[in-house]
Amino acid sequence: MEDGSRKTEVKKSFELTTSDFGLLTYFQTMNKKLEQYIEQFSTPENPVLEDLYRQTHIRFINPNMVSGHIQGLFLEFISLMIRPENILEIGTFTGYSAICLSKGLKPGGKLITIELNDELSEFAHSFICRAGAEAKIIQLTGKAQDIIPGLDRMFDLVFIDGDKREYIEYYKLIIEKVKPGGFILADNVLWGGQVLDNESNDPQTRGIINFNAMIRAESIIEEVIIPIRDGMMLIKKKA
């Protein structure tokens, strides 16, 4: 039922049994083949981004956090469709997603990207410069919870990709800074399928589960989960 209160049912957790593993292996193989097909029939990766992806995997722990080719194109196209004046990104990592999102900015537009880990800043900046996006991207280092309240602008688009335990905090901080009719993108909302385990006590998993449930109950937004990579939620603030 769609009304102002928008209640969410709590579903039972799903568990794999031993009889499921053969089927799981089959789907994993098929997914790999489909990924290769998708890569083949998508616009080729920009050479600077390709090198950024490669260097991220060589130099850093948890390189899987980088957006990569297909997700990067998705972010770029979303930004190009919206043509935002201001973008906020929570979680720069090595700068891949910031570069992609910045391509859709209006002339004179700015993307503010926040990263907690100061050791990533110089590396990300070097690739932002190589991509020719240094005039459009403002890098800030620190906790998003400390930085966001001091931002004195409204945003057309926000990309949430920080600590999964803090997604709800990010949303509550930014929703009033999103223009009516503006958009929020939240990454990793399927969390490797672990969102199906409603009994999980893992803090990151619980963060995503609780975030998804909270978003579903909000009345001032509309949302859809897109099964790209680890799940992307597209949220529209009602005008």
Question: Which pLDDT score, from 0 to 100, does residue 33 have?
Answer: 84
Residue with more model confidence, 75 or 23: 75
CB crowding 47-77: b at 16 or more within 10 Å, else e: ebbeebbebbeeebeebebbbbbbbbbbbbe
155 in Cβ contact with 85 (< 8 Å): no
185 in Cβ contact with 233 (< 8 Å): yes
Question: Which pLDDT score, from 0 to 100, does residue 35 have?
Answer: 87
- Complete DSSP assignment for 56-125: HHHH-SSGGGS--HHHHHHHHHHHHHH--SEEEEE--TTSHHHHHHHTTPPTT-EEEEEES-GGGHHHHH
Residue 9: is its pLDDT beyond 80? no
Q: Which residues are CB-neighbours of 11 under 8 A, at least 6 positions away?
A: 196, 198
- Distance, in Å, from the CA atom of 81 to the CA atom of 163, rounded to the nearest integer, reads 27
Residue 3: is its pLDDT beyond 70? no
78-134: pLDDT as tens digits: 999 999 999 999 999 999 999 999 999 999 999 999 999 999 999 999 999 999 999
Record the pTM: 0.87
Residue with more model confidence, 29 or 174: 174
